[in-house]
Chains A and B, each alone.
Chain A
Amino acid sequence: MSMKSLLIISRQPPSQHAAREALDVALAAAAFDVPVGLLFMDDGVLQLRQGQDAPAIGLKSLAANLQALPVFGVEDIMVCDHSLAERGMRAQPLLLPVRRVDASEIAVLLEHYQRIITL
């Protein structure tokens, strides 16, 4: 039986390899048919910001990878509402349709998943 896995993405895009490498884990897990949830929190929520211009600093945009997640079967995509508020992003449209979760919902998520990885 597959262990349901929750990946917590806490790094900002795309200036750090870490952001891309966190998504790579999600896609690898999906490729192995492991049920995966993604939770963006802390600086990770910045990955969901619209209108980013990665090529302007010589980097590749992560937007395409993010938008491909549902295609690869990663559909439980969540974002920490508090982290959005801290960064003034609560009222902004995001790059992906995501479910906003508060602290108590995050506590439930941590119970629900059998594997938790912070990336």
Chain B
Amino acid sequence: MKFAIALLAGPQDPSARTALRFAQAVLASGHQITRLFFYRDAVHLASQLVVCPRDEADICAEWRDFIQSNGLDAVVCIAAALRRGVLDEAEADRWDRPVANSGMPWELSGLGQWVDAMQEADRAVSFGT
């Protein structure tokens, strides 16, 4: 079965972990994830600048590793990201900001990617409000 999974809450919200566990379970059960979409505060997961104390779980790193090792399509809403200071090289360039803090495996793109994923998937599941 094809799953589209969206996360709306930030790294500090328990749903960031619930969503990751769910996504892992989807793949472990032999299903497919056609797209992950990160909206609202969830865009902070795509920041490369988050530093966690060493004795705490780094949810940003866990998501990044999960996406990378499974070669998943992980789209971050570009409008939500810009508003919260999550920029890849192209956006940092475009808006004349001194640094970029996001990039592969994340892709900054529009909300249409979520709408499209929901249409194509057999199951669309969202986490966090």
Interface residues of chain A, those whose CB is within 8 Å of chain B, are: 2-3, 5, 10-11, 17-18, 21, 24-25, 28-29, 31-32, 34, 115, 117-119
Contact = CB atoms under 8 A, between A and B. Distances in A.
B115 A119 contact: no
A5 B6 CA distance: 15
Residues of B in contact with A, size category: 10 to 19
A10 B129 contact: yes
Interface string B76-119: 00011001000000000000000000000000001110111011
A53 to B, nearest CB: 22
Contact of B40 (A10, A21, A31, A34): A21
A117 B111 CA distance: 14
A47 B5 CA distance: 27
Contact of B119 (A2, A10, A21, A24): A2
10 contacts: A2-B119, A17-B40, A18-B40, A25-B111, A28-B112, A34-B118, A34-B119, A115-B118, A118-B126, A119-B8
B38 interface: no
* Dominant secondary structure at the B interface: helix
A64 to B, nearest CB: 17
B115 A24 contact: no
Contacts of B119: 2-3, 32, 34
Given A2-B119, A17-B40, A28-B114, 11 more contacts: A10-B129, A21-B79, A25-B39, A25-B114, A28-B110, A29-B115, A31-B112, A32-B119, A117-B126, A118-B126, A118-B129
Given A17-B83, A18-B40, A119 B118 contact: no
B118 A24 contact: no
Contacts of A5: 118
